[in-house]
Amino acid sequence: MQLDETVLDDLVLGATILAAGGGGDPYLGKLMARRSIREHGPVQLLDVAEVPDDARIAFVAGMGAPSVVIEKLPRASEVVAALDVLEEHLGYRFTHLAPAEAGGLNAVIPVTAAALRGIPMLDADGMGRAFPSLDLVTPALYGASTTPLSLVDEHGNRVVITTETGDWADRVARAVMITSGCVMMSALYPMTGAQAKAWLVRGALSLATRLGEVVRTARERHESPVDAVVAERGGARLFDGKVVDVRRATEGGWTVGEAVLQGLDSFEGREFRLGFRNEYLVASRDGGIVATTPDLLMALELENGTPIPAEEIRYGYRVAVIGLPCDERWRSEAGLRAAGPRRFGYDVDFSPVEAAG
């Protein structure tokens, strides 16, 4: 499969769904990727099984608050510079790239880097969705080190970080990122092809493209895009409602807050709350928890299925909130310890979307 301009729209739409409300606006990444593809040609997308065991692979990603990224647009030169810095530190060149997350801006950022470098990308990622911390990737569940990682900003600053743990990597990198203005580009999690085969979520970009196609096709057929997405992924439609209140702030380099909805149609007279830290993390209906991270929660426009990120949800929006199952590794004991609701300060147990009712 090749990533060219013809698939970018579907990829970006599907990536916004898999972003679970966070990940940054992939439209910005699409603009960069489209220009890079026009200038340097399409990017080859490989199944992980096609990659040599001795391949050198890295994630390329943006780090920052999605609400800030809207105003401080990343540049292609910063993405490639992040790779340059990590390669200089390691003493070798990367042969393949992969997205750290299949959701949002970071699903598309590596397309630009791969096009400019003329190297392939993997049809895989480290989450199967988007998460707000550097250590929340499937390689970390296998003991992979988050560092060394590089950070590059718009001012030309270049940083390499090495830490003892993933949590420390996230803390130190976030402190640097906040000092720089809440947006930086990063290259991280260097791995071999053999490690990628064991660690990554396979088919992540194909899935994003497929979800975008599902929404587009449903619109063309005048069917419900919301129902089509739920049917495609085996998820649940958790609520239909109108947004009546939103609390949102940028804290610690994250976009944090809560949206409150009042029910429409079959949910009339009921209340729904959707808490977020970059991504939507916890959903409650009439005071009771119905779904939580690490499963994916997403608000879609009721009529056309357009996904609404947490930094964009506003008073008056009419939305359907859906839940999609996460990669099974996140539901393991280690996965829930890393990415369950308590990791983000919610004192509740994991509630799978299948049990939402």
Cα 186 to Cα 194: distance, rounded to the nearest angstrom: 23
Main-chain dihedrals φ then ψ at residue 7, nearest 5 degrees: -105, -5
Q: Is residue 218 part of a domain?
A: no
Query: Of 204, 235, 265, at which residue does a domain stop?
Result: 204
Domain identity same for 183 and 230: no
Domain count, the chain: 2
Domain identity same for 154 and 233: no
Domain identity same for 169 and 62: yes
Please say if the pLDDT value at position 71 is more than 70: no
pLDDT attached to residue 67: 61
Domain that holds residue 302: 224-355
Please say if the pLDDT value at position 28 is more than 90: no
Q: What is the pLDDT of residues 182-233, one digit of tens each?
A: 889 999 999 999 999 999 999 999 999 999 999 999 999 999 999 999 999 9
Nearest alpha-carbon partner for 322 in 288, 354, 287, 276: 354
Please say if the pLDDT value at position 70 is more than 80: no
Q: What is the pLDDT of residues 326-350, one digit of tens each?
A: 999 999 999 999 999 999 999 999 9
pLDDT attached to residue 243: 98
Q: Is residue 250 part of a domain?
A: yes
Please say if the pLDDT value at position 254 is more than 90: no
Cβ atoms of 216 and 198 closer than 8 Å: no
Q: Is residue 214 part of a domain?
A: no
pLDDT, average across residues 302-312: 93
Of residues 97 and 32, the one with the higher pLDDT is: 97
Q: Is residue 217 part of a domain?
A: no
Cβ atoms of 351 and 289 closer than 8 Å: yes
Domain identity same for 182 and 315: no
Domain identity same for 197 and 267: no
CATH of the domain at 181: 3.40.1610.10
Cα 152 to Cα 88: distance, rounded to the nearest angstrom: 13
Percentage of the residues of the chain whose pLDDT score is greater than 70: 97
Q: Is residue 339 part of a domain?
A: yes
